[in-house]
Structure 1
Amino acid sequence: MNEQDLIYILALQHVPNIGDIIAKRLINHCGSAEAVLKEKPSNLLKIDGIGKITIKHLHEASHVVEAEKELRFIKENHIKTLYFEANNYPKKLKHCIDGPILLFQSGKVSLQNQRIISIVGTRKITNSGIAFCENLIETLAVYKPVIVSGFAYGTDITAHKAAIKNKLQTIGCLAHGLNTIYPKVHKKYMVDVENHGGFLTDFWSSAKFDRNNFLKRNRVIAGISEATIVIESAEKGGSLVTADIANSYNRDVFAVPGRTTDSQSVGCNNLIKQQKAHLLSTPLDVPYLLNWQLEEKAPPTIQKQLFVELDPDEKIIYNYLKNHDKEQLDIIAIHCNLPVFKVSSILLNMELKGVVRPLPGKLFEVI
C-alpha cells in the first residue's frame, strides 16, 4: 500500500457517521477508499444502507488534510499500518463485520501464529487470580501461544508480564493512539512488551481520550483471538463485554469459576451458568478444548471418572450422545424431550462429573 492509498483510507476513517461496517460496504462497492471519496453522492445513495446523513460530510476537504497530518505521525514514529484487505491484517479479525478498516501497530507483532488467546478480567484482581493467571500462562507456554490483553490494571498487566516472563509474544490492544499510554504507570512496561510483541490500536494520535473507547477496543481483543479467557470479574465489567463480543464472533470463551461469596467471581460464575463460557478449572482445559497439539506428543486428555452415578435425565442425555457422536445443545433438548434450560444445567453437571465435554461450536460429546 503506497502513501497516497493510505491517505485516502485515513481520510475515509476520519469521516463522521461512517464507521467500520459502513466503510467496508462503501469500499467493497466502489473498489477502494479513493474511489469512495471521489464517487458522486447520487451513486453512493444507491447503495443499500447508505443515506444522506451517512455521506453528508464525506467530501469535505478537511478529511484529507487531517489524514496527511496523521500520516506524518505514522512515518515519524515508524508505525506499521494494517489494512483490512491486506495480507498482514489479522486473519481472524477479517471475519468480524465490525473489525477496523485500519489498525496501527508498534513493536514486533507477528500474527502468523494461529494460537492467539486473549486474557481479560477485573482491574481489581485478587492474589488468587494473579496466581491462576501466571500458572495458566506458564503451563501453556509449551504451546507457544500469543497472549493478548488490554494493557490495563490488574488482569491485563498480569497477563502481559507473565507472557514476557515465559518468553511468549504478547500484544497490548489500546483504547487510544500510539502517541500516549494509559495508565501512565504502565509506561515502564512498554519496551518489554514491544520487544516481545507490541501494541495494536485503531485510534489516531489525535483521538480524544474517552472511556467509551475501551468498549470499542474490546472488539479487537476478542476479534484477533482464537479464544477469550476471563480470569475474574465482578457482576458487571469490561471483560464481560469482551466475552459477549467473542461469543458473537463464534469464538470460544473460558471463565475461571469461584466461590459464590466472592464478588470478583460473580461475572465468571454467571458466564458459566448461562452457558456463555467453558468452565476453566485447570490450564490444560484450554489446549484440550481448542484441540492444540504438541509436535512431540498430544496434550494430556481429561479422563472420564469410573462408576459415575447418573440421574434419570443424565442417563437419557448420555445414551443419546453415546449413539450420536456429538451434538448441539438445542438438538439434544429436542431429541431427549427436555427443555433447553434444563439440558444446559444437566450438561454442566455431567461435565463436572467428567462424563461429557464441550467442544468448539457449542457441541457436546461423551468422554
Structure 2
Amino acid sequence: MTEEQNLYEVALTKLPGIGAQLTRLLVSYCGSPKAVFHAPPGKLLKIPGFGSITVKNIQENAKAALREAEVIVKKAAEQNVQLLFYTSPHYPDRLKQIADAPVLLYFRGNGNLNQRRIISIVGTRQISSYGQAVTERIIEELTPYNVLIVSGLAYGVDVVAHRAALQAGLPTIGVMANGPDNIYPAVHRKYAERMLTQGGILTENSFGTKPDAPRFPARNRIIAGMSDCTLVIEAALKSGTLITADIAHSYDKEVMAVPGNITSPVSKGTNYLIKSLKAAAYTSIQDLVELLNWDLEDEQLAKKQKLIAYTSEDFTEEELKILQLLQQSKEELMDNLSWKTQIPVSQLASLLLGLEFRGVIRQLPGKKFVLVR
C-alpha cells in the first residue's frame, strides 16, 4: 500500500460532516479515495443524497483534511501503526459487514484480524475470584482451537482474558477507546507490549485521542463486530458489558454468558442474558463448539484436506473420480460407482483392483467399496 493511498484514505475521515456511510458512498461512486478529492462538483452532485451544501463542504475542507492526514500518516510510519481502510485486505472482514463499522482503523501488532476463529471475551471490572477462575479456564479450553481472543484491555475480565491468552500462546487483540499512541489504563502497558508480538492493539481513534466516556460504547461495537461470538463472564445489570452484548445481539452475532451465583451482583447481568434468551449458557467448551459448529467445520476441513491429497499426480483422472465419489458417499456399490462416474464396469473393475492393491480402498461384502485413507 502506498503512502499516497494512505494519505487520501485518512483525509476522507477528516472531512467534517462526512461519516462512515457517506464515505463508503463517495468511494463507491468515485472509485477510490483519491478520486473523491479530484472529482468535479457535477459528478459529486449525481451521488444520491449529495446536495450542493455537502459538495461545497468537501471542496472547502479538502486541503485542510489532506494536511491533517499528512501528519497522521507520518506519525503512523514512525510508530509502526498500520492504517487499515475498510477496503484493505487486512481490515476485519467480520466487522466490515456491520453498517456502522468505522471506515479506518489504527492497528499496532502482528495479529491476523481475519483469523479463522475469533472470540470476544468481556465482563465486569469488578471481577470475582470465580470470574477470574472461569475466564482462565475458558482460555485454556479454547487453546486447542487456535482462537484469536478480543477484549477491551480494561480492568477485570478484559485484562484477565488478555493475560491468560498470552500465557496460553493464543493471539489476543485489545480494542481501545483512545488513540494508538497511548495505552489506557497505563497499568496494563506491560500486557499491551507483549500483545504487539502476539496479537496487537486496535482503535478507530487517531493519535492523541483521550479515552472520553462516549468513546467506550463506540469501542464496544468493534469488539462485538469483529468476532464470531461475544462471551460474557460476569456483568452487573446496568453495565457497559451488557451494552456490548446487546450490540452483538443486534448484529445477529452469537452471544454466550457464564451462569453465576444468584446472590452475586456481577452475576445478575449474565443470568439475565440467559434468562431473557439473549445469550446461550456457557458451561463448557462443548457449548461453544456446538453453537458455532466448530466440530462440523473441522470435519469438513479434514475431508477437504484428505481430498486434496487425492488430487496429486499419483492418480489418473478416472481414479480421482472414484476417490472423490467415495469421499462424499463413504461407501458405494460397484454398479453405483459405474453410473455415477460414467466409467464402464469392465474398466471400473480393473481400476478398483489397482486402488485396492495400493491400499487406498477396500472391498466390503456385497461388492461395496470404501476408502481406507
Match of 2:320 in 1: none
Which stretch shifts more, 248-257 or 144-153?
248-257
Residues 114 and 226, structure 1, Cα contact 8 Å, conserved in 2: no
Larger Rg: 2
Query: Which residue among 127, 130, 141 is the counterpart of 1:125?
Result: 127
Indicate the residue corresponding to 1:107 in structure 2: 109
More moved, 45-54 vs 114-123: 45-54
Q: What does residue range 1-367 of structure 1 map to in structure 2 within 5 Å? A: 1-41=1-41, 43-51=43-51, 54=54, 57-59=57-59, 60=61, 61-293=63-295
- Cα displacement (A) at 1:296: 9.0
Partners of 2:178 and 2:276 lie apart in 1 by 32
Instruction: Give the residue type in structure 1 aligned to 2:225.
Output: G
What per-residue deviation string (whole Å, max 9, x for no partner) do you get for residues 308-357 of structure 1? Answer: xxxxxxxxxxxxxxxxxxxxxxxxxxxxxxxxxxxxxxxxxxxxxxxxxx
**Cα distance in 2, alignment partners of residues 26 and 214 from structure 1:** 28
Q: Is the 8 A contact 1:135 1:283 kept in 2?
A: no
SS in 1 for 2:274: helix
Counting matched residue pairs gives 298
Change (3 A) 1:256 1:295: closer
Bigger mean CA offset, 120-129 vs 95-104: 95-104
Question: What per-residue deviation string (whole Å, max 9, x for no partner) do you get for residues 190-240 of structure 1?
Answer: 221112111111111033432211111112111110111011111111121
**What is the alpha-carbon distance in structure 2 between the residues aligned to residue 15 and residue 296 of structure 1?**
45
- Report deviation, 1:62: 1.2
Q: Please give the alpha-carbon distance, in whole angstroms, between the structure 2 residues aligned to 1:276 and 1:34.
A: 43
**CA gap 1:260/1:295 in 2 versus in 1, 3 angstroms:** closer
Equivalent AA in structure 1 for residue 106 of structure 2: F
Give, in whole Å, the separation in 1 of the partners of 2:50 and 2:97: 22
What is the deviation of 1:277? Answer: 0.9
Query: Does the residue aligned with 2:285 lie in a helix, a strand or coil?
Result: coil
Deviations 1:243-277 (A, max 9, x none): 12212221111011223332112221222222211
Q: Normalising by the residue count of structure 1, what TM-score does the alignment of the two structures yield?
A: 0.76
Moved more, 63-72 or 215-224: 215-224
For residues 295 and 4 of structure 1, what CA distance do their matches in structure 2 show? 41
Q: State how far apart, in whole Å, the 1-side matches of 2:256 and 2:281 are.
A: 6
SS of match in other structure, 1:195? coil
Q: Tell me the equivalent position of 2:366.
A: none
Residue 269 of structure 1 aligns to a residue whose secondary structure is helix
Native 8 Å contact 2:120 2:151 kept in 1: yes
Aligned equivalents of 2:257 and 2:56: distance in 1? 44
> 2:187 and 2:53 mapped to 1: Cα distance?
42
Whether the aligned pair in 2 keeps the contact of 1:107 and 1:199 (CA below 8 Å) is yes
Residues 1:43 and 1:274: Cα distance change in structure 2 (over 3 Å): farther
Q: How far apart are the structure 1 equivalents of 2:177 and 2:52?
A: 30
Higher helix share: 2
> Can you list the C-alpha shifts for 1:42-77, whole angstroms capped at 9, x where unaligned?
543443344566556423121111100001101111
Match of residue 313 from structure 2 = none
Unaligned runs of 5+ in 2: 301-373
- Per-residue Cα deviation, 1:172-203 (whole angstroms, up to 9, x for no partner): 11111111110011112122111211111111
How many Å apart are 1:41 and its aligned residue?
Answer: 4.3
- Taking the aligned partners of 1:284 and 1:121, their CA distance within structure 2 comes to 21
Q: 1:112 to 1:216 in 2, by over 3 A?
A: closer
Shift of 1:297: 8.4
The letter for the 2-side match of 1:97 is: A
* One-letter identity of the residue aligned with 1:259: N
Contact residue 184 and residue 211 of structure 2 kept, 8 A: no
Which AA in structure 2 matches 1:231?
Answer: I
What CA RMSD, in Å, does the superposition of the two structures yield over aligned residues? 2.1
Task: Supply the distance in 1 between the matched residues of 2:147 and 2:289 (Cα, whole angstroms).
Answer: 10
For the residue of structure 1 that corresponds to 2:21, the secondary structure is helix
Q: Does the CA contact (< 8 Å) of 2:118 and 2:226 recur in 1?
A: yes
1:222 is paired with a residue whose SS is helix
Instruction: Report the AA paired with residue 136 of structure 2.
Output: E
Please say which of residues 232-241 and 279-288 is displaced more in the overlay: 279-288
Deviation at 1:171, TM superposition (A): 0.6
- The superposition leaves residues 78-115 of structure 1 with CA deviations (integer Å, 9 ceiling, x where unpaired) of 22222211222212112112222121211111234211
Q: Distance in 2 between matches of 1:263 and 1:34?
A: 52
Counterpart-to-counterpart distance in 2, 1:50 and 1:121: 42
